[in-house]
Structure 1
């Protein structure tokens, strides 16, 4: 199953490191897989921002979903 990040109000290269790739399971493996996206910290108060992670191209008829990720602004 492929994954890809897409900008929302958060921008790749400014707020997070965009990524694409493939998650794989061996036959009989039903465990959860983890996807790590690197956030870019800055000291500027800009409010919360979002980006999307989309799953595509399942190999076993899996249900696909899109997740909206919210980066909480921690600048003081």
Structure 2
């Protein structure tokens, strides 16, 4: 039941004009940022997997290419 409610919330967000927020460009993604540069790859996989599992990849406002950009900027 909880998953259905979350999916409805995500679908409603897709259809709204709300700006995307959150560290990964979507407030529904909850993966914490990596603590070390060595964890960037693992973090990317975790964020991408969570986006896929929550069907966020189909959101027209979500750009998964920005995950790498965000990870790179964390350790400049």
Q: Structures share a fold, TM > 0.5?
A: no
Question: By percentage of residues, which structure has more strand?
Answer: 1
Instruction: Tell which structure's C-alpha radius of gyration is larger.
Output: 1
Could you tell me the TM-score, scaled by structure 1's length? 0.30
TM-score normalised per structure 2? 0.30
Q: Which has the higher helix share?
A: 2
